[in-house]
């Protein structure tokens, strides 16, 4: 079996490591200590793209089975003795959506339940405005999923190197991964280090990828506030009710590699919170944080072998959809790496031999 290196210990890297280790490959996961949390830790955990009908079908293929995929993962982790992922089928209510006809057509094509309802009838806190309701949308507690996956991977034999990767260079028929203090040779290499993937590829090959860092900020409100009956999404943002009574509000979006939360972002989110859910008016959050998303100039992520570096694969650019797309992305990229049948057409996510977006 091949020795495989994975750069990035977010949800996608961990899921890929788990799949490859289960096939008998020797897997080394390079997990650099982060000053600021990556998107996998910082996101809200909604298992749907936001306004999913506005994306290409290629993204829907990555996201449509997310709830079922995570339910299977949660059951498998529970059999190993790890705590559950706090999966909840919350449903998603979108008051005031203008393009409901397009949304309903999209849902029908993908065999997803969706209907237009009165926001006031669905939730008495709202005015009588139309809303789109998708009942099958779930959420999970993403930090819990990451901790369980990391522990499960270690038990499965995945070796972790806790240092940043500087570059990768050709080494015979494989590649040498050069860290800050050590180098390790691998037969294949998977790069899924979020927004940092672009810099690593450019340093190692000169190729410029259409990726950019995007800071997203979130607020958390303590239990004791009346929660909404489901996830509420408007054009400006969303509020997520957790099972323990906490409420998450998100998110800002700024092109920046600085992962520190900002006072301005906090003010914007507090104003947004009162618009999204009236019981939050006058309340103060007890936590604010930020994470760096891997933005992409293209409308779908990159899931592809690097043309000028055979054996090096990229899985990045998921932007705001990393968590929801991670199980399907891991299934596709690991199939490409091992030469097994792809679960769906990989062409929309491929890099060409040029530096243009996929």
Quick: pLDDT tens for 153-211.
999 999 999 888 999 999 999 999 999 888 999 999 999 998 889 999 999 999 999 99
Taking alpha carbons only, the member of 313, 314, 316 closest to residue 301 is: 316
In CATH terms, the fold of domain 3-44+144-212+297-349 is FAD/NAD(P)-binding domain (3.50.50)
Nearest to 310, CA basis, from 353, 344, 348, 341? 353
Q: How far apart are CA 313 and CA 306, in angstroms?
A: 6
pLDDT-based confidence at 35, cuts 50/70/90?
Answer: low
Helix axes 142-155, 66-79, angle to 10 degrees: 50
Instruction: DSSP for 46-92, please give it.
Output: BSS-SSGGGS-HHHHHHHTTHHHHHHHHHHHHHHTTPPP---B---E
Q: What is the pLDDT of residues 197-248, one digit of tens each?
A: 999 999 999 999 999 999 999 999 999 999 999 999 999 999 999 999 999 9
- pLDDT classification of 37: cutoffs 50, 70, 90: low
pLDDT of residue 358: 39
Pick the more confident residue, 128 or 21. 21
State the pLDDT at residue 110.
Answer: 96
Confidence of residue 357 (pLDDT cuts 50, 70, 90): very low
pLDDT in tens, 63-103: 999 999 999 999 999 999 988 888 999 999 999 999 999 99
- Work out the average pLDDT over 275-295: 93
pLDDT at 33: 60
Look at residue 186 in the predicted model and tell me its pLDDT: 97
The per-residue pLDDT for 31 is: 86
Domains 3-44+144-212+297-349 and 89-138+213-295 share a fold: no
pLDDT (mean) for 265-290? 94
Question: What does the mean pLDDT of the chain come to?
Answer: 92
Yes or no: domain 89-138+213-295 corresponds to CATH 3.40.50.720: no
Domains of the chain, residue spans: 3-44+144-212+297-349, 89-138+213-295
pLDDT above 70: percentage of residues in the chain: 96
pTM of this structure: 0.95
Task: Compare 39 and 340 and report the one with higher pLDDT.
Answer: 340
Q: How far apart are CA 235 and CA 204, in angstroms?
A: 39
pLDDT, one tens digit per residue, over 108-156 is: 999 999 999 999 888 888 888 899 999 999 999 998 899 999 999 999 9
pLDDT for the residue 40 = 81
Q: How long, in residues, is the chain? A: 358
Task: Kindly state the helix (H) or strand (E) to which residue 134 belongs, with its residue range.
Answer: strand 130-134
């Amino acid at each position: 079996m091949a020795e495989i290196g994975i750069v990035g210990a977010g949800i996608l890297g961990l899921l890929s490591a788990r799949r490859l280790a289960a096939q008998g490959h020797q897997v080394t996961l390079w997990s650099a200590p982060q000053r600021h949390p990556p998107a996998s830790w910082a996101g809200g955990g909604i298992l749907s793209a936001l306004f999913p009908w506005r994306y290409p079908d290629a993204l829907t293929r990555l996201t449509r089975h997310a709830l079922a995929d995570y339910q299977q993962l949660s059951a498998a982790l529970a059999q190993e003795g790890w705590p559950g992922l706090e999966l909840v089928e919350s449903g998603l209510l979108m008051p005031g959506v203008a393009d409901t006809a397009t949304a309903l057509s999209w849902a029908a094509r993908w065999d997803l339940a969706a209907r237009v309802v009165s926001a006031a009838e669905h939730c008495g806190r709202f005015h009588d405005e139309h809303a789109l309701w998708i009942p099958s949308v779930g959420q999970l507690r993403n930090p819990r999923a990451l901790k369980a996956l990391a522990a499960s991977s270690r038990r499965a034999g995945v070796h972790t190197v806790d240092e940043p990767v500087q570059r990768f260079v050709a080494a015979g028929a494989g590649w040498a991964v050069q860290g800050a203090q050590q180098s390790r040779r691998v037969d294949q290499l998977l790069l899924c280090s979020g927004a940092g993937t672009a810099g690593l590829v450019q340093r190692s090959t000169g190729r410029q990828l259409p990726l950019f860092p995007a800071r997203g900020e979130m607020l958390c409100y303590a239990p004791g506030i009346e929660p909404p009956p489901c996830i509420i999404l408007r054009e400006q943002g969303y509020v997520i009710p957790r099972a323990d009574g906490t409420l998450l509000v998100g998110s800002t979006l700024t092109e920046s590699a600085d992962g520190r939360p900002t006072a301005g972002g906090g003010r914007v989110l507090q104003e947004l919170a009162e618009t999204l859910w009236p019981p939050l008016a006058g309340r103060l959050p007890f936590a604010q944080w930020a994470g760096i998303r891997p933005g992409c100039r293209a409308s779908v992520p990159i899931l592809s072998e690097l043309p000028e570096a055979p054996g090096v694969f990229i899985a990045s650019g998921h932007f705001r959809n990393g968590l929801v797309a991670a199980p399907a992305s891991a299934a596709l990229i690991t199939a490409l790496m091992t030469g097994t049948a792809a679960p769906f057409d990989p062409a929309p996510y491929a890099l060409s031999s040029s530096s243009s977006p996929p």
